[in-house]
Amino acid sequence: MKQEIEMTVYGAEQLCPSCVNLPSSKETYEWLKAAIARKYPNQPFKVTYVDILNPPEDEEKKNFAQRVIEEDMFYPVVLIEDQVVGEGNPRLKTIYAEMERRGYTAV
């Protein structure tokens, strides 16, 4: 069995100023979690949501949350492990390609 990967969704309650008419970061997080579970059932993965304005104590997550703010990235920003795979309006096709590159098998 594959090693569990972590997908992290960085965002905020307030919508990104350039992302009007798009789902909120939290909605994107929920949607991605469900879509990944359907596409790769019985394969280990973890999806974590990080509020960029109130990040957890985890130093790595805190540093990236600060980077999202400082670099004016469009959020939500989606990372698989340490690779950015989506920003603003993440594309499932791109995320699926990265999952499969890491050994996941689509159903």
17-53 per-residue burial string, b: 16 or more CB within 10 A, e: under 16:
eebeebebbeebbeebbeebeebbeebebebebbebe
Contact 29, 37 (CB under 8 A): no
> Helix (H, G, I), strand (E, B), or coil: what is residue 82?
coil
Quick one: pLDDT at residue 16?
A: 64
pTM value? 0.91
Is the Cβ–Cβ distance between 7 and 49 less than 8 Å? no
88 token code pair: 């603003």
Catalogue all structural domains in the chain, each as residue range(s) with its CATH number.
Answer: 5-101 (3.40.30.30)
pLDDT in tens, the chain (107 residues): 467 899 999 999 877 666 667 788 999 999 999 999 999 999 999 999 999 999 999 999 999 999 999 998 988 999 999 999 999 889 999 999 999 999 999 98
Read off the DSSP letter of residue 75.
S
